[in-house]
Chains A and B, each alone.
Chain A
Amino acid sequence: MLIQVLFEGLVMGTIYALIAMGIALVWGVTNILSFSQGEFMMLSMYLAFYFNTLFGLDPVASIPLVMAIMFLFGAIVYKTLISRALKGPKLSQRLITFALGMVITNGMLMTVGGQYRSIPNLMFQGSIDLGFLMVSRQKLVPLAVSLIVTGLLFLFMDKTKVGKSIRATAQDKEAAGLMGINTENAYMLAFGISTAIAGAAGCSLTYYYYIYPAVGAPFLIFGFIAVCLGGFGNIAGAFLGGLIMGMVDLFTGSYLSTTYKYLAVCVIFMLTVSFKPKGLFGR
């Protein structure tokens, strides 16, 4: 059972991490706490669902497409709302994302209704029984996607010029501006990328979770906690934070109490920040 729990913890961890990284990116670059991340994920879950029902695309196959769409969507959202809000006080930046989330959720509720949906004919199904470990293909997908996306994100941030410019902007907007980096674009890119990540998260989540307009909310808070646990706007931190949460979640759930598993997550988080106010890996 221990190995099973470890494995499942890893899976959940990577899923949390995937959501967390999106938040971390926006936070790190634009210093906005994005409450709409969960709703972006929900949107992309619906996208994946409709691609499947209309064109028979498997969620995995539709990931690039969905990511592209979500990137555009994110960029538009940034241009129309966020960039304006950035001029205002910090609080209104946070609230605008919250309100946006509200609009998206209920907009979906109005248009597609509150029915619970799932994708019937998935490409990867069933489980592989290794005796000591039961590996479910449906969970391997999020795991794989998360790892790949993380890898790509790191490469992008470290190797490419754009990524560097984003990081520079995150470090010090003024300086970056003086160095001739178009910080506005960097911000927009960062936001777009984070929504794209939400897209990937959404697609892979359809593999084991159900689709309904309010699906984003429960994942959001875990995303936040993971980011904070990891440390300020630090993507690697967010990833590790996510992993830790997944482990805590599964271990308390399986060995101590299912009732208090999220309590444990929150408590551990709060203890961490009260001793390390900038999170585990915070600068």
Chain B
Amino acid sequence: MKLRASYNRHREFLTTFMIVMAVLIIVPMFIMREFAMNVLILCTIWSIMGIGWNIIGGYAGQISNGHALFYAIGAYVGAMTMKWFQMTPWISMWIGVLLSMVIAFVIGTPLLRLRDHYFAISTMALVECTRIIFLNWKLIGAATGVSFFYKKLPTWYSWQFANKHPFYYISLGFMALCIILTKAIESSKFGYYCRAIKANQESAESSGIDAAKYKRRAYMISAAVVSVGGALHAQYLQYIDPAVLLPLSNSMLIVLVCVMGGVGTVWGPVLGAFLMITINEYARSFFVQFSGLNLVIYGILVIFIVLFLPKGLISLVKKDTLINISRKLMKKLRATS
């Protein structure tokens, strides 16, 4: 009974979710080109990061330009545990999540008091600090980085597969979880409070919202999600160093995929990531001989989206389009049977 009710509440989301997942699960089964799979994997990973950022940046409206920090933490925890104890990512990932939540809590307390640009810049500065520290931290390989490439370990244990599909499905799984998490947040009290804070902090506080607390909580959750993305990416690259993980461009890309898709929406980051990453990867392979052209195109694309679709690509997709599509399909099926 209760289930039914909640199904009705979220009918649109659930159908969309089902369809999208079905597509993302079935289609790759017929993709035999490793490079295409590689792109897909990057898409899923970056959507996870986008989703993570979306929670603090999209819902709670605190524009962080320093989420590469949690990406790096996730990645490093994964890498180091693998290198030291050959620990499986299935577990080490959660250590990373916990660690980044703790760190988010600690730094969130002072930094979240800052308003928009100040917050953005101080998070950037924070990433810069982390970069310098990691570059010189002997224990975690300093600038030499960490490569963890184990042929010996069982593949499902180490996530180091001979071909791409298993890894793709793993990261897709996590992406699905993150989507559900976002939806849950969106339709929860917490979600409403975040949006209230984003909309108008003062009146939010005067209507009984402990802004500081909720902002911090949002920051922690988003840190956790991003670090999951980081862990996945590290396992995929099998080599990480501070120069890979912590340049400004990474923090910006995390924001970018989210904004291109549409901030403060469940599907925005996913859409954004899949589009931007695919375009980026293929543009690079097409225009590689004119060095830089691909990035020029990418940049122009971003400018156009920002100017003409300020609400992101998601605003192109009409409400419950997919439902209607599915309905039509159903009709067709009935007709045929």
Tell me if B3 counts as interface (CB < 8 A to partner A): no
| Cβ contact within 8 Å between B63 and A95 | no
How many residues belonging to A are interface residues under a CB distance threshold of 8 Å?
48
By beta carbon, the residue of chain A nearest B252 is A98
Q: State A94–B63 Cα separation when bound (angstroms).
A: 10
Q: State A266–B295 Cα separation when bound (angstroms).
A: 29
A279 contact set on B, CB distance < 8 A = 118
Q: State A262–B129 Cα separation when bound (angstroms).
A: 8
Q: State A232–B307 Cα separation when bound (angstroms).
A: 26
Q: State A29–B255 Cα separation when bound (angstroms).
A: 24
Most chain A CB atoms below 10 A, which of B122, B124, B129, B303: B303
Return A104 CB to nearest CB of chain B, in Å: 8
Q: Which residues of chain A in 53-112 are interfacial with respect to chain B, using CB atoms and an 8 Å cutoff? A: 81, 84-85, 87-92, 94-96, 98-103, 105-107, 109-110
By beta carbon, the residue of chain B nearest A227 is B121
Q: State A31–B248 Cα separation when bound (angstroms).
A: 21
A224 contact set on B, CB distance < 8 A = 121, 124
A91 contact set on B, CB distance < 8 A = 57, 63, 255, 259, 263
A263 contact set on B, CB distance < 8 A = 128-129, 132-133
Tell me if A277 counts as interface (CB < 8 A to partner B): yes
Q: State A270–B109 Cα separation when bound (angstroms).
A: 13
B117 contact set on A, CB distance < 8 A = 27, 31, 33, 228, 232
Return A144 CB to nearest CB of chain B, in Å: 29
By beta carbon, the residue of chain B nearest A104 is B299
Q: State A92–B261 Cα separation when bound (angstroms).
A: 12
By beta carbon, the residue of chain B nearest A111 is B292
| Cβ contact within 8 Å between A99 and B248 | no
Q: Which residues of chain B in 202-218 are interfacial with respect to chain A, using CB atoms and an 8 Å cutoff? A: none
B118 contact set on A, CB distance < 8 A = 228, 232, 273, 277-279
Tell me if A181 counts as interface (CB < 8 A to partner B): no
Known contacts: A92-B310, A217-B248, A273-B122. The answer to whether A259 contacts B114 by CB under 8 A is no
Return A6 CB to nearest CB of chain B, in Å: 25
| Cβ contact within 8 Å between B128 and A221 | yes
Q: State A260–B125 Cα separation when bound (angstroms).
A: 13
Tell me if A115 counts as interface (CB < 8 A to partner B): no
| Cβ contact within 8 Å between B63 and A107 | no
**Could you tell me the dominant secondary structure of chain A's interface residues?**
helix
| Cβ contact within 8 Å between A269 and B122 | yes
Known contacts: A228-B121, A273-B122, A277-B113. The answer to whether A99 contacts B299 by CB under 8 A is yes
A278 contact set on B, CB distance < 8 A = 118
| Cβ contact within 8 Å between B252 and A270 | no
Q: Which of A33, A90, A100, A274 meets B303, CB within 8 Å? A: A100
Return B253 CB to nearest CB of chain A, in Å: 10
Known contacts: A33-B121, A102-B298, A228-B121. The answer to whether A273 contacts B292 by CB under 8 A is no
Tell me if A151 counts as interface (CB < 8 A to partner B): no
| Cβ contact within 8 Å between B129 and A95 | no
Tell me if A168 counts as interface (CB < 8 A to partner B): no
Return A38 CB to nearest CB of chain B, in Å: 11
Known contacts: A33-B121, A110-B293. The answer to whether A277 contacts B115 by CB under 8 A is yes
Tell me if B153 counts as interface (CB < 8 A to partner A): no
For the complex with contacts A31-B117, A99-B302, 17 further pairs of A-B residues with Cβ separation under 8 Å are A33-B121, A88-B306, A89-B263, A89-B310, A91-B255, A91-B263, A94-B120, A95-B255, A103-B296, A110-B290, A110-B293, A217-B248, A224-B121, A260-B136, A262-B132, A273-B122, A279-B118
B contacts, CB < 8 Å to A: 57, 63, 110-111, 113-118, 120-122, 124-126, 128-129, 132-133, 136, 248, 252, 255-256, 259, 263, 290-293, 295-296, 298-300, 302-303, 306-307, 310
The 4 closest A-B pairs by CB, nearest first: A106-B292, A88-B310, A102-B299, A103-B299
A contacts, CB < 8 Å to B: 27, 31, 33, 81, 84-85, 87-92, 94-96, 98-103, 105-107, 109-110, 114, 213, 217, 221, 224-225, 227-228, 232, 259-260, 262-263, 266-267, 269-270, 273-274, 277-279
25 contacts between A and B (CB under 8 A): A33-B117, A84-B307, A91-B57, A92-B259, A95-B252, A95-B255, A95-B302, A96-B307, A98-B256, A98-B302, A99-B302, A102-B295, A103-B295, A103-B299, A106-B292, A109-B292, A110-B290, A114-B291, A221-B248, A225-B121, A259-B132, A266-B128, A266-B129, A274-B110, A274-B111
